[in-house]
Structure 1
C-alpha cells in the first residue's frame, strides 16, 4: 500500500482577490529587483557577508559556550577565512597560470585527439582569428597599445574583485560582532506579540535551515574535491590539487558548475594523457563522483529541509546569474530557500510558498 504525505494540517492559503494589490505588489518587486541590480556593487558584499555569517554561526556559538569574547571570536572567524583563501591562492596561482598558457596552445592537439569535435574546433579557431583580426587589424603585428589595454582590463578586474572581497570581509566582521542586535531591534518594533513571535520564528528557521544547507554543501564539496584530487593523482594528471580545488568551487554552482567541470576535465585529459581512452578518464571520474554526490548523498541529507521545485531552482539560477554573475549563481538556491521560508510563515504569501515547494517523498508501507 502506498501512502503519500498530505498537507491537511497546512493552514488556509488565501489568494488575493483585489487586482490592485497584485499590481502594486508586482511594481514593488520590479522596483526592488531594479535597485538590487543597480546597486549590486554595494548589495552583493552585504549578501555574501550575511551568508558567510550563517556558515560560521555554529563555530561562533561554540566559541560563545567556551566563553570566548565576541570580538576575539569574530576576529578568529575572519582570520580563518582569510587564511584559507590566501593559502589556496598562493598554492594554486603558479599551476593555474601554467595551465592558462597551455590551454590555448593545445588547440591543435585537441583537434587531432578528438576527430568528432574537429569541425566545432575549426569554427572556434576561425572565430578566434576573426576576433583577432577585428581587434588587431589586417597587419601582422598588433599595435603596441594592445598589451596595455589588456593589462588595464586585468588591473580593473582585480581591483573590482579586491574591493568587493575587502568589503565582504569587513561586513562579515561587523555582522559577527553585532550578533543578534538587529533581530532584537526588529522584534522590539513589531506592534503585537504575534508579530514578534513570527519574526523570531522566521529568523530561527532561516538561520537553522540555511546554516545546515551551507555547512552540508561545503562538507560535501570538500569531499568531492578530495575524491577528484585523488582520482586525478591516480590517473597521473599534473597538479591534482588544482583540480581538487576547481571541483570544490564548481560544485557550489548547480547544473552549470558540473557541466563546466565535464568540459574542462575532458579538455585537460585530452591535453595531458595518453592513450586516447585514458584521456577520457578524468571526465569519467568527475561524472561518477558528481553523480554519486549530487544525485544520491546530498539529496538524501537535505531532503527533510529542502523540497524546492527544480524548475524554479533552474529559473532562480538563471535569474541571479544575470543579476549578480557567478556570486549570484552560487547564492541562487539559498535565496530561493529563504524566500520559501518567509512565504510559508506569512499567511498572505502561503500560496506562493506552496507553489515553490517541490514534490514530497512518498512513504511506502506494506
Structure 2
C-alpha cells in the first residue's frame, strides 16, 4: 500500500495515529477484555463448528467451553498458589546465597562505589535545614483491592462478551456481506474472512500446543533434576512462552534462582537452567518454524518492539497480547493485496535465505 505523499495527509495520518494510541492507552480497561474475548473466540471457533456438526445447540457448546476454560484455570491456579507462595518467601534467601557466591567478583565494583560515595559526600552542599515533604500515597490494601476489583470486572466482561461472540457465530460477517454492492465482492469478502479466521486459529492453536509441550518437558526436567514442585515450573514455562524471547529469559532467571536455593551451588543450579534453555532453543529454532511454516514467522526485531510497546501501554496483559496481535495483523495483510507489502515487512527472513546470505 503506497504511502500518501501530500504533507497535509501525512500530518493528519500522524495525528490520527497519536490520538488512536492515546485513546487505547486511556481505554485499556475497556479494550483489553474485548481483545482477549476476540482472540479466544478465534481459538474456540473450530470447537463451535464441531458442536454444530453434531447438532449441539450453540448456547450449550459455548457454555461448556467457557466453564471448561474457567474451571481448568481456576483449579490450576488454586493448586499452584501454595507452592508459589512458598517459593516467593524463599526469594530473599536465594538472593543472599547468590550474593555470597559472586562476592569475589563484586569486590572491585564495591571499591569503586565507595570511592564514588566519598566524592559525592565531599561535593554535597545541600542544606540540612530543609523541611521534608511527605506525599500521601494510597495504602497497600487499597491498591490491592482496587487492582483485584478491576481484574474481576475485566474477567467478567471478557466472559460475557466471549459467550455472545460464540453465540453470534457469523452474524457480523453476514451483515457485512449484505451491504456489499456486487456478488463478486461478497464472495471475495467471505473467502478473505474464512482464510484469515482459519490462519489465525491455526496459528494460536499451534502456539498453544507448543507452549504445552514446553511446559511438560520443563516439568519433567525439573522432576528428574530433583527440583521441587515440577508442576509449578512446567506451568510457569507454559505461561512465559506466550511472551517470546523476553518470557524465556525471565524463566531462565527464575529457574536458576530456584535451583540455586535448592542445590546450594552455582554449578548444580546450571543443570536445570541449561536444560530449560535447550528446550526453548529447540522449540524456537527448529520445531515452531517447521510447524508454523514460513508465512507465520514474524520478524524478531518487531517482536521485541511490539512486546516493549504493548507492555508500556497495558502492562503484563499487553505483553501477552503483543505477539498474537502482531501475527493477526500480518495474516490479514498477507491476504489483502493492498497491504501485502506491510505483511512482507512484518515477516522474518526465511532461514534458508539467511544461511545463504551469510556465506
Structure 2: how far apart are the matches of 1:86 and 1:266?
Answer: 27
1:88 aligns to 2:76 (yes or no): yes
Out of 298, 303, 312, the residue aligned to residue 313 of structure 1 is 303
Aligned to 1:220: 210
Aligned to 2:172: 182
Q: Give the TM-score normalised by structure 2.
A: 0.84
Q: 1:81 to 1:352 in 2, by over 3 A?
A: same
Aligned to 1:38: 26
* Aligned-residue offset at 1:276: 4.1
Structure 2: how far apart are the matches of 1:121 and 1:69?
Answer: 68
Q: Is the 8 A contact 2:37 2:162 kept in 1?
A: yes
| Larger mean Cα displacement after TM superposition, 159-168 or 23-32 | 23-32
| Larger mean Cα displacement after TM superposition, 96-105 or 40-49 | 96-105
Structure 2: how far apart are the matches of 1:194 and 1:17?
Answer: 32
Q: Is the 8 A contact 1:113 1:270 kept in 2?
A: no
| Deviation readout 1:42-66 (Å, 9 max, x if unpaired) | 0100000010111111111111111
Aligned to 2:130: none
Out of 42, 64, 86, the residue aligned to residue 54 of structure 1 is 42
Quick one: higher RCO (CA 8 Å, sep 6+), 1 or 2?
A: 1
Secondary structure of 1:238's partner? coil
1:338 aligns to 2:349 (yes or no): no
Q: Is the 8 A contact 1:111 1:117 kept in 2?
A: no
| Number of corresponding residues | 331
1:299 aligns to 2:289 (yes or no): yes
| Larger mean Cα displacement after TM superposition, 267-276 or 233-242 | 267-276
* Aligned-residue offset at 1:170: 1.4
Aligned to 1:126: none
| Deviation readout 1:215-269 (Å, 9 max, x if unpaired) | 1111111111111111111111111111110010000001110110111111111
| Larger mean Cα displacement after TM superposition, 277-286 or 287-296 | 277-286
| Larger mean Cα displacement after TM superposition, 151-160 or 227-236 | 151-160
Structure 2: how far apart are the matches of 1:266 and 1:357?
Answer: 33
Say what the alpha-carbon RMSD is for the aligned residues: 2.7
Q: Is the 8 A contact 1:111 1:121 kept in 2?
A: no
Q: Which runs of 5+ in 2 are unaligned?
A: 111-135
Q: Give the TM-score normalised by structure 1.
A: 0.82
Aligned to 1:168: 158
* Aligned-residue offset at 1:195: 3.9
Structure 1: how far apart are the matches of 2:13 and 2:335?
Answer: 18
Structure 1: how far apart are the matches of 2:52 and 2:332?
Answer: 28
Matches within 5 A, 1:70-109: 70-109=58-97
Q: 1:325 to 1:120 in 2, by over 3 A?
A: farther
Structure 2: how far apart are the matches of 1:37 and 1:347?
Answer: 30
| Deviation readout 1:335-359 (Å, 9 max, x if unpaired) | 1222223334444434333332332
Q: Is the 8 A contact 1:224 1:290 kept in 2?
A: yes
Q: Is the 8 A contact 1:198 1:345 kept in 2?
A: no
| Larger mean Cα displacement after TM superposition, 80-89 or 314-323 | 314-323
1:245 aligns to 2:246 (yes or no): no
Q: 1:346 to 1:59 in 2, by over 3 A?
A: closer
Q: 1:308 to 1:198 in 2, by over 3 A?
A: farther
Secondary structure of 2:252's partner? helix
Q: Is the 8 A contact 1:229 1:240 kept in 2?
A: yes
Q: Is the 8 A contact 1:225 1:244 kept in 2?
A: yes
Q: Is the 8 A contact 1:202 1:341 kept in 2?
A: no
